[in-house]
Structure 1
Amino acid sequence: MSDPLVLRQGAEALAGPFPPLLAEAEHLATTVLLGEHGRRRPGQGDNFWQFRPAMPFDETRSIDWRRSGRADGAFVREREWQIAQSIILWIDQAASMSFGSLKDGTTKGQRARLLGLATAVLLIRGGERVGLTGLRLPPRAGESQLARMAALLSEQDEVDYGTPEATGMLPHSRAMFVSDFMGDMEPVEAALTKAADRGVRGAMVQVLDPQEEGFPFDGRTIFESMSGGIRHETLKAGDLRDRYLERLAERKDRLRMLASTTGWQFLTHHTGDSAASALLWIYGALERRN
């Protein structure tokens, strides 16, 4: 049997990041002031939407007689169409996401996890079902799902670059991929094509560090991947700047075109920018019906 003290210390160390991450995500979610999560079309639901003139096919019981009494004709009281949707998230947890140059220590991975979990907070509290791709966490509703997500998102993969996974996406549902998208593009294209074939629409959020956008390097520089598996040394880093920025721009254009082709939305977000503005964009992108 394991030593109970050692087991408890290990458990506390493992669970340590979860409450702060969830608390930060909940705080971020509250900064995005949103109303009720109803779908603005008639159907089954609890919230009033509008009155409309009664039609010949309407049943007598559907007529609102109080409203009709204030007019010459009969009116039907319609409610908002509210039905839980399934949203699947893929948050890149590869080694490349642990890079960060900001003084406050924010890394790409931290921002990606924060945006992913804050999005889940908004959606779940709006009555949606949220899960993680790759069958890691099937979509479910309820506050307990947020704790499960926080636990899984606090892990880190050992590979240099993440590969999006489309497994577990239900037909005609929604999804979100959050990554730096600095690795091989073929798996990204394959995942979005597979999603589009199932009628899945969603959002891609590319998270980059300011240094990755500005390339402020000159002279002798050693470039090394976060896992240490890739290494390049140069005496004239400044000479690489234009080529690097050109390739980065090409990658963004490719991602943007891929999103457009598959009916998704695309955003590049920098860790030095407001997380709240990115969350607001994400929420709007996932709400947009294509």
Structure 2
Amino acid sequence: MVAPGAHGLRRAGPGEDFWQYRPAHAGDTARSIDWRRSARSDAQFVRDREAQTAQAVGLWVSAGQGMGYSGAPERPAKGSRAQLLALALGMVLLRGGEKVGLLGQPARAGRAQAARLAEGMTMAPTAEDDADAPPPEVLRPNQRLVILSDFLTDPAWVEALLARAAGLGVGGVLMQVLDPDEENFPYAGAVLFRSFSGALRHDSRDAEGLREAYLARLAARRDWLRAQAEGAGWHFGHHATDHAPAQALNWLYRVLGG
């Protein structure tokens, strides 16, 4: 599990965790001397602590029209599940003292920020096309980002985003959220496939005959996403909307600290 809240800066300063022993300097008080360590040598030593800071985490959920898809009434739309995961993750991190914000907006700590996150997600307009992408120019050094999308459209933006992230020292997670019908392609016979925006259409007389090629392309897309993420020092994961969201939330929470 990731330890939310303060994160070490790998230097001496205010904090709770031990950092290193150093020889005592002029100006160090008697209270700052570690007498047990000093007793093992002829010198006096001070026990330094590691400087810590709250981690800033940015959340981005795709608002592309394709995220509105659900293959069955009992399942949530992909966008709804992605928002649930992002909001739940944000609340857990806020509870641990992290600074969290929607990508492009200030990251803040505290209970009030949870309401801002929820409002920002629910009020975000749907994109005009099947896909959208986070703007790379809003990235800031040393952030952690969580990007949730179906990644089914042109993925060129992913490469551009990760290239900029790597240059800024930004780490993060790519999470692909799909409906189980998109995972398994259970179609047969004559099927008209169309994107939510209507920009793409394919009229198939033998949908079952497309299954093998579709699944191969989905696997190739995931391999590409994983390679891109790992090359930038990020993580890649995927989640189907018929699975419990807690499983994906636990994974996101764990790898975000890695």
Question: What secondary structure does 1:167 align onto?
Answer: helix
| Cα distance, 1:42–1:191 mapped onto 2, change above 3 Å | closer
Pick one of 107, 110, 118 that aligns with 1:150: 118
Question: 1:13 maps to which residue?
Answer: none
The structure-2 alpha-carbon separation of the partners of 1:211 and 1:46, relative to structure 1 and needing over 3 Å to count, comes to same
The DSSP-based 3-state class of the residue aligned with 1:189 is: helix
Of 182, 186, 195, which aligns to 1:212?
A: 182
Deviations 1:180-220 (A, max 9, x none): 00111111211111111212111111111111111000001
1:171 to 99, 123, 141: 141
Query: Which residue is equivalent to 2:248?
Result: 278
Amino acid at match of 1:131: G
Contact 1:62 1:77 in 2 (8 A): no
Question: Separation in 2 of the partners of 1:35 and 1:58?
Answer: 36
Letter in 2 for 1:140: R
Report what 1:107 is aligned to: 77
Tell me, yes or no, if structure 1 residue 68 matches structure 2 residue 35. yes
Q: Is the 8 A contact 1:162 1:179 kept in 2?
A: no
Relative to structure 1, the CA distance from residue 62 to residue 273 in structure 2 (aligned partners, 3 Å threshold; closer, same or farther) is farther
Q: Which whole-Å CA distance do the structure 2 matches of 1:58 and 1:92 have between them?
A: 56
Please report how far the alpha carbon of residue 253 of structure 1 lies from its aligned counterpart in structure 2 after TM superposition: 0.7
CA offsets per residue over residues 238-268 of structure 1, 9 Å max, x none? 1110110111111001101101111111111
Q: 2:99 maps to which residue? A: 129
Are the equivalent residues in 1 in contact too, given 2:94–2:100 (CA < 8 A)?
A: yes
- How many residues get paired? 252
Equivalence for 1:180 = 150
Q: Once the two structures are aligned, what percentage of the paired residues are identical? A: 38
Indicate conservation of the 8 Å contact 2:6/2:98, yes or no.
Answer: no
Code of the aligned partner of 2:197: S
Higher helix share: 1
What residue identity is the alignment partner of 2:190?
R
With over 3 angstroms needed to count, the CA separation of the structure-2 counterparts of 1:34 and 1:243, relative to structure 1, is closer
Q: Distance in 2 between matches of 1:242 and 1:175?
A: 34
What value does the CA root-mean-square deviation take over the aligned residues? 2.7
SS at match of 2:97: coil
- CA–CA distance in 2 between the matches of 1:205 and 1:125? 22
User: Is the 2:13–2:50 contact (alpha carbons within 8 Å) kept by the matching residues of 1?
Assistant: yes
Contact 1:52 1:75 in 2 (8 A): no
Counterpart for residue 9 of structure 1:
none
Letter in 1 for 2:77: T
Q: Per the alignment, in what secondary structure is the counterpart of residue 206 of structure 1?
A: strand
Call closer, same or farther: CA 1:258–1:77 in 2, change over 3 Å: same
Gaps of at least 5 residues in structure 2 are none
- What is aligned with 1:26? none
Q: Secondary structure at the match of 2:198?
A: coil
| Distance verdict in 2 for CA 1:230–1:141, change over 3 Å | same
Alpha-carbon distance in 2 for matches of 1:70, 1:193: 46
Structure-2 residue corresponding to 1:8? none
Q: Deviations over 1:113-172 (max 9, x none)?
A: 011112221222322222222x3x222222222222212211332321122322322112
Matched, 1:140 2:140: no
| SS of 1:164 mapped into structure 2 | coil
Alpha carbons of structure 1 residues 54 and 187: separation in structure 2 relative to 1, 3 Å:
closer
Residue 237 of structure 1: how far off its partner (Å) = 0.2
TM-score (norm 2): 0.85
1:104 is aligned with what amino acid?
Answer: E
1:231 to 195, 201, 204: 201
Query: 2:7 corresponds to which residue?
Result: 39
Give the TM-score normalised by the residue count of structure 1. 0.76
- Is 1:245 the counterpart of 2:215? The answer is yes
- What is the distance in 2 between the residues matched to 1:122 and 1:286? 12
Q: Which amino acid aligns with 1:275?
A: P
